[in-house]
Amino acid sequence: MNTSNLPTQYRTERIKKALEKLWCDNLQTACASDDDNYFICGGDSLKAIRLLSAIDREFSVRLNYTDIYEYPTFFELLSHIEAVIAANRGQEEAV
């Protein structure tokens, strides 16, 4: 998903909706709320690897395996992904 040319608010909403789909598919739940903790909702190490792989495919963002432990809630993970996307965009613009 290339969101670099979208206005910030729209880009954030697109990222949130896409992450929610990945999260819910991975955990086999109907929806995600900001406070949902990945591991309390049924996530485990194998599912985490699958989720991180899906995030990489969807957003072209390679997260570290430990990121899911450092940012375990939906909102924390979303914020981290947005920060990584913004940092990557900044690096691309600098080149």
The model's pLDDT over 66-91, given as tens digits with 9 standing for 90+, comes to 999 999 999 999 999 999 999 988 76
pTM: 0.84
Count of residues making up the chain:
95
Q: What's the pLDDT at 4? A: 52
- How far are the Cα atoms of 3, 27, 95 from residue 79, in angstroms, in the given order? 15, 19, 25
User: Domains of the chain, with CATH numbers?
Assistant: 8-94 (1.10.1200.10)
Half-sphere exposure of 59 (CA within 13 A, CB side): 31
